[in-house]
Structure 1
Amino acid sequence: MKQIVCLHSLTPEQIHQIEQAAPGFEMIVKNKKELDPDQIKNAEIIVGWSRTIAEHALQEDSKLKWVQTWSAGVDTLPLERLRDRGILLTNSSGVHAIPISESIFAMMLSFSRQMHIAVRHQLQKNWKSDLTIPGHSTLGEINGKTLVIVGVGEIGRETARLAKAFGMHVIGVRRSDKPEPNVDQMLTMDGLHEALGQGDYIVNVLPLTEETHHMFDAAAWKAAKKGACFINAGRGPTVDTSSLIDALNSGQISGAGLDVFEQEPLPTDNPLWTMEQVIITPHVAGSNDRYTERVVDIFTENVKAYTQGQKPPRNLVDYERMY
């Protein structure tokens, strides 16, 4: 019997949901340490990925035909080897739209109301009504401010929807300038610096590709509106960390909310840790109690089509674009 190997825990109900959509397939739900090499090599479909299973999954006698990742990003996978083997690759794009957009707004509202500074004073039992940081501008309320979203996909669309509810002006930047609901102006990537010059808040939700690596560099910070607030909920290496630190020190960027980094975990000697104008979260913006449920829904739709001889309809990765 054909096999589906899932590396992540599922409830009995979720396993049944997948089995109903994939008649003729046996479901094996084990973590990477519990799987033996033969189970990996015999899997036609693998849900999730791990470097430790790649050795067996990509051998010449492997039966692997399709990988459904547990994440939206695929930059850590062996894309060339998967492509050369003709293996289908789908990701979990869309799962993160609600939790990450809410995390983005948690950071934006914290910066606008200086909540991150208040919490630090609270820990010191310090009653201080002036929450400004000397030498840095304070953005105040977000109503009426301009939000620039770089990389308008599922997360960007939901972020734009929330932004309009707060009365913000929204500028989007992506490969296509096709209009989107809740985005007042859409620019292509060629217009990135033009957009940055207008943003009170700049949100990066770009995937990591050869094109986007260090897209936010010294030139980008120079082009940005002075005193803008930057939030990175995309991929760490899309930002040149040293130039961001310089921009924060100079006040060109007034604050940064960072969930992802070039090096993770962020080294303890990195200056970002001790900057008052920085909020750090450990790559958890997409975490939530409905994550598995949403991945299973995506996979169920895909596997139903796959068993009927069709390509997975949702989130099929373009190996050339790397997303």
Structure 2
Amino acid sequence: MSGQNNEGKLIVNGIPVDEADKQRFIEAAGGVPVEFCGTPENFGDMKVKAQIPEELRGKATAVIGNFDPSLAPQFTSLEWLQTWSAGVDAYIAPGVLPASVKVTSATGAYGQSVAEHMIAMMWALMKNLPRYVRNETTHRWHDEGTVVSPEGATALVVGTGDIGSHFARLAKAAGMRTMGVRRNASQPVEGVDEMHGFDELDALLPSANVVAMSLPRAADTHHMFDAHKLGLLGSEAIVINGGRGDAIDLDALHDVLAAGAIRGAGLDVFETEPLPEASPLWDDVNCLITPHVAGGDHLAGNTGRIIDIALANIRRYVAGEPLVDNAHR
């Protein structure tokens, strides 16, 4: 452990893991005590907040899992929080945790599952499937008209990290041309045919058949897709969001959908979750809504990737090495 003094350290693991994975965590900790709080019956439901017993909250120097942010003041010894989520907004918000607490996320665990979900939404909207599902509930036999194909279409991938790169590769496999948009346009990304900066977005939107969004939450991405940008899209364009919900102005999106100005939208994330019952998007036949389920551990492989990320950082933590900081605090 490179001479690192680990006296007094305690790792509290709230991930619901089986016995084999418990042993992996114990070995990675290298002698630092590990307390396990995840219950086996919650395995497969990573939406459950980590149930850290009250008597451990003040002793834990490291927590693996997502505890209720309102309990943060009770974690008086905390040095490091490793979330099982990709988003860490609730923990890095001002006043939640001291600035000295390192926050790392499970970014990198969800690219495959979220991108596949986004692709499924895209294809469903291209083929009018949401309309047919609604017809099925009323036993209505009705032709919903023409469809479109990904073959030869252009996918504009806004946010080209783990999710965006996975989406781009899947889109290319379906015959699409891929254009990426990111802050550093000089950095190539697998699956993206050509890269552009955020400042070029307005010029790119009119030619996009599909806009696939997987943006992080930041000041310059809040309502990035407002009435102006949505108004630049063509009438057959499809908007898919699997990143942060506040990247789209939902009122503006409803307006373009209601006007038939774009073909449709597929949303798995929302600025307010759950999406309020009064939202008109629920009733829009061209809006496909899922309740933030693209990631999590809905795909079996995600849990393994979450565990691998946590294990790698535990080894760094006990060795006194810099943690892999995917939270970009």
Per the alignment, residue 70 of structure 1 pairs with 84
- Counterpart in 1 of 2:65? 48
Kindly tell me: are residues 19 and 243 of structure 1, through their superposed partners in 2, closer, same or farther at Cα, counting changes over 3 Å?
same
**2:152 and 2:158 mapped to 1: Cα distance?**
19
Provide the secondary structure at the position in 2 that maps to 1:311.
coil
1:164 aligns with 2:172: yes
Contact conserved, 1:305 with 1:311, CA < 8 A, in 2?
Answer: yes
Matching residue within 254, 261, 273 for 1:245: 254
1:209 counterpart residue number = 218
- 1:55, CA displacement in angstroms? 2.1
| 2:138 aligned residue | 124
Q: Which structure 2 residues correspond to residues 97-246 of structure 1 after superposition, within 5 A?
A: 97-128=111-142, 130-132=143-145, 140-177=148-185, 178-246=187-255
For the Cα contact (< 8 Å) 2:15–2:50, is it kept in 1? no
Confirm or deny: 8 A CA contact 2:157 2:180 kept in the other structure: yes
2:263 maps to 254
1:139 is displaced (CA, Å) by 5.2
- Aligned equivalents of 2:50 and 2:176: distance in 1? 48
Q: How many residues are treated as equivalent by the alignment?
A: 308
Asked whether the 8 Å contact 2:82–2:103 carries over to 1, the reply is yes
- Contact conserved, 2:151 with 2:176, CA < 8 A, in 1? yes
Instruction: Tell me: CA distance 1:94–1:33, structure 2 relative to 1, closer, same or farther (3 Å).
Output: closer
* Aligned position for 1:135: none
Seq. identity, %: 35
State yes or no: 1:277 paired with 2:290. no
Shift of 1:195: 2.1
Amino acid at match of 2:59: N
Deviation digits for residues 210-246 of structure 1 (CA, Å, limit 9, x no counterpart): 1111111011112223331111111111111111101
Cα shift readout 1:164-206 (whole Å, capped 9, x = no counterpart): 1111000111111112222111111111222222210111111
Contact 1:173 1:195 in 2 (8 A): no
One-letter amino acid of the counterpart of residue 316, structure 2: A
CA distance in 1, matches of 2:95, 2:62: 16
Read off the aligned partner of 1:28 and give its amino acid letter: E
Q: Which runs of 5+ in 1 are unaligned?
A: 133-137
CA contact (8 A) 2:72 2:97 kept: no
Equivalent position amino acid for 2:154 in 1: T
User: How does the TM-score come out when normalised to structure 2?
Assistant: 0.88
The answer to whether 1:290 aligns with 2:301 is yes
String of CA shifts for 1:63-102, please: whole Å, max 9, x gaps: 2111101111112224444775322111101111111111
What SS does structure 1 have at the residue aligned with 2:263? strand
* Aligned mates of 1:139, 1:200 — CA distance in 2: 13
Offset at 1:125?
A: 2.1
Q: Deviations over 1:140-159 (max 9, x none)?
A: 11111000111110000111
Q: Which runs of 4+ in 1 moved over 6 A?
A: none
- 2:328 aligns with one of 306, 318, 323: 318
Question: Which residue is equivalent to 2:102?
Answer: 88
Any stretches of 5+ residues in structure 2 without a counterpart?
Answer: 1-7, 39-48
Contact 1:10/1:292 (<8 A) preserved: no
In structure 2, distance between residues paired with 1:82 and 1:195: 39
Question: How big is each residue's C-alpha offset from its partner over 1:286-317, in whole Å with a ceiling of 9 and x where there is no partner?
Answer: 1322332211100111111222221123x443
Q: In structure 2, what is the Cα distance between the partners aligned to 1:94 and 1:271?
A: 33
CA drift at 1:110: 0.6
1:197, 1:142 → 2: CA distance?
Answer: 17
Say which of 30, 34, 39 aligns to 2:56.
39
User: Does 147-156 or 173-182 show the bigger shift?
Assistant: 173-182
Q: What is the rounded CA distance, in whole Å, between the counterparts of 1:123 and 1:82 in structure 2?
A: 45
Residue 307 (1) aligns with residue 321 (2):
no
